[in-house]
Amino acid sequence: MTTRMLNILFLCTGNSARSILAERLVERFGGGKFRGFSAGSHPKGEVHPRTLAMLEDAGLPTDGLRSKSWDEFAQPGAPVMDFVFTVCDDAAGEICPVWPGQPMTAHWGMPDPAAATGSEFERMAAFRTTFQMLETRIKLFASLPFAKLEQASLRRRVQEIGRIGPNEGEGSAA
């Protein structure tokens, strides 16, 4: 792969929590190599307030974030994606969009923290768990030796990262 900035689109159903968190995390931990985007197959129309709180607590910018359709990225003039990661959780019965084109894709599914129930503490804990899972996966992804990996090996590694659980360390898939 080249040394140019690589575009990553994180897809989810509602584009209000997981994909938004990933968009900002990839820019924080991507070492200047990645530009993050997010979208949803059925966007909620607004970013979840707990998503914004998690980002603010982590010192990540929230300006410009909005819940949007993945159709925006299929329009003429849209940024060309190098990677498309779905972060919706199939086990929860969500419908993940199919991305047309040539970007490398992988499924990094995880439960939707916006669907968490219980006390305020329990709901915030769901967001913290999601945030930590995404942070771990993105750090692993950013540490891959892109210039040295063949496409098949890179694809395998990217898919392995999507299977990293919430309590697994950063050395798990690299």
Q: C-alpha dihedral over 166, 141, 36, 62, to 10 degrees?
A: 40
Residues carrying an active site annotation: 12, 88, 96
* pLDDT, tens digit, 9 for 90 and up, residues 140-153: 999 999 888 888 99
Does residue 6 sit in helix, strand or coil? strand
How far apart, in whole angstroms, are the C-alpha atoms of residue 174 and residue 171?
A: 6
| pLDDT tier for residue 20 given thresholds of 50, 70 and 90 | very high
Question: What radius of gyration, in Å, describes the C-alpha atoms of the chain?
Answer: 15
Res 160: pLDDT: 93
Contact between 71 and 127 under an 8 Å Cβ cutoff? The reply is no
Residue 93 has pLDDT above 60, yes or no: no
Contact between 102 and 122 under an 8 Å Cβ cutoff? The reply is no
| Ranges 32-36, 55-59, 98-102, 154-158: which has the least confidence | 98-102
- Give CA angle at 44 (7, 63), nearest 5°: 55
Full DSSP string of 124-158: HHHHHHHHHHHHHHHHHHHTS-GGG--HHHHHHHH
Mean pLDDT of 26-38: 93
| pLDDT tier for residue 76 given thresholds of 50, 70 and 90 | confident
Residue with the larger pLDDT of the pair 95 and 22: 22
Contact between 103 and 9 under an 8 Å Cβ cutoff? The reply is yes
Residue of 64, 80, 75, 89 whose CA lies nearest to 11: 89
